[in-house]
Structure 1
Amino acid sequence: MPFFKAVLLDWVGTLIVPKWGPTRGRPRGASWIERSLTQVGWEASSAEVARISAALSAAGKRPDVAEGWAGADLSAAAHQESYLRWVMAAGLDCILAEAMYEALCDAVDNVFAVDVEPTLGALKAAGVKVAIVSDIHVDIRPGFAKAGLDTHVDDFVLSFERGACKPDPAIFRTALERLGVQPHETLMVGDRSGHDGAAVEAGITTLLVPPLTHATEKRLHLVLAACGVAGC
């Protein structure tokens, strides 16, 4: 019998590779910028990509920009406002900035880690309820549907829909209520101590894994081990 009746899973950094780094406003890789440049028909040379990346990184370190990301995922409007502050500080052209924002908001354009499907499948088979608890400004359900993972998830608790972001314990309590489980019956899994780790304040046992950097990394066997569930 599983040790827990439910598992709450973070999304970005836990199940998918972030399109930007752990600190808001710092792009993780060049592909995001390169694709946007190509989309608008502009030069996408390595030098131009590096220039834009450096400008965004520098802008992301500005106190006003960094502070502007606080609460950005409470609504779509708040996120867009924070993004605009960032790209304006970086001096990006508005056409490119718009293309990049579309890429940033595309919840379907993400690759899940290779161990997500077997982990969710094993939890489902064991009768463990699963909820995705994410600080996000867009609906990520279509991404799960595209990957064929939507049937493995019982509920989605998204910050922009609930009006609460981690580390606010309210978002974890909402997940518990929607799944019909108690804190001691639940495991929270995430990659950020200051956000996902706050689930302990709601009485939830919490497992923190290193942030996902590549889709081939396997870390979710730790979730099955913590639940006492055999892998598929």
Structure 2
Amino acid sequence: MAAVLFDFSGTLFRIESTESWLRAVLAAAGLALPEAELAEKAKALEVAGALAGGAEPVELPEHLVEAWAVRDESAALHRAAYTALSRRVPLPDAALHDALYERHMTPAAWAPYPDTAHVLRTLRERGTRVGVVSNIGWDLRPVFREHGLDACVDVYTLSYEHGVQKPDPRLFSTACAELGADPRDVVMVGDSRSADGGAAALGCRVHFVDHLPVAQRPDALLPVLGMVA
């Protein structure tokens, strides 16, 4: 294989827990909630699907269905969709909803899977081209820089920068073109069969991993090294 494409969230990195997310924003605002109430609010935000990269909404309000379907096609749509979900949960200060959105875009909110650095650095050492293809509404490059992994990525193909989201083959085609690779010589690695599986339409080989907490998925990326050996 000439190149490897990776999804971001749930594949190379994992977002913090909803409780950690809420706790960090409350602390930054100088606010505190009793532990029981904090846990209750965090659970409500999780059920609402308000944390991008976390659980999807248990029940999507009718008025948000259309916005949700195209949320990754622009930064404005992404912010609008997720802050609308967050606002379904009453918080001590209305400004916290925007603060929550801002928090999820920070490198501190993301942790790499245990094998991410090893796999990316090994591919770099072998001279294998690497791209990140993500349905997202913000620039994830600082996350890679903060964790010292930006030098391992040749191309970032982000949905909001192209106005198209996975599984549309055009996003994968763009990534392959930027890498100078024939899609038939590319492996796409992701956690979503519905989204990342779209690469198969171009002839890419697709390898799936499970979207699990970091501590529960230590080595799911390692088989990729065997695919491009």
Is this a same-fold pair by TM over 0.5? yes
Task: Give structure 1 stretches of 5+ with no counterpart.
Answer: 20-27
- Structure 1 length-normalised TM: 0.86
Secondary structure of 2:85's match? Answer: helix
Aligned twin of 2:2: 5
CA RMSD of aligned residues (A): 1.8
CA shift, 1:46, in A, is 2.3
Comparing 163-172 with 58-67, greater Cα deviation is found at 58-67
Aligned twin of 2:60: 62
Establish whether residue 148 from structure 1 lines up as the match of residue 148 from structure 2: yes
Name the CA distance, whole Å, in 2 between partners of 1:125 and 1:143: 21
Aligned twin of 2:222: 221
Secondary structure of 1:138's match? Answer: coil
Aligned twin of 1:115: 115
* 1:108–1:142 CA contact under 8 A, matched in 2: no
Name the CA distance, whole Å, in 2 between partners of 1:78 and 1:208: 27
Aligned length: 217
Instruction: Find the partner of 2:18 among 6, 25, 29.
Output: 29
CA shift, 1:158, in A, is 0.7
Give 4+ residue runs of structure 1 displaced > 4 Å after superposition. Answer: none
Name the CA distance, whole Å, in 2 between partners of 1:87 and 1:50: 15
- 1:187-198 to structure 2, matched below 5 A, reads 187-198=187-198
Aligned twin of 1:73: 72
Task: Give structure 2 stretches of 5+ with no counterpart.
Answer: 49-56
Aligned twin of 1:160: 160
Q: 1:224 to 1:58 in 2, by over 3 A?
A: closer
Aligned twin of 1:23: none
Q: 1:107 to 1:168 in 2, by over 3 A?
A: farther
One-letter amino acid of the counterpart of residue 23, structure 2: E
Instruction: Find the partner of 2:39 among 29, 50, 59.
Output: 50
Aligned twin of 1:14: 11
CA shift, 1:75, in A, is 1.1
CA shift, 1:100, in A, is 0.9
* 2:5–2:187 CA contact under 8 A, matched in 1: yes
Name the CA distance, whole Å, in 2 between partners of 1:52 and 1:139: 28
Identity within the alignment, %: 36
* 2:67–2:77 CA contact under 8 A, matched in 1: no
Secondary structure of 2:15's match? Answer: coil
CA shift, 1:107, in A, is 4.1
CA shift, 1:151, in A, is 1.1
One-letter amino acid of the counterpart of residue 117, structure 2: E
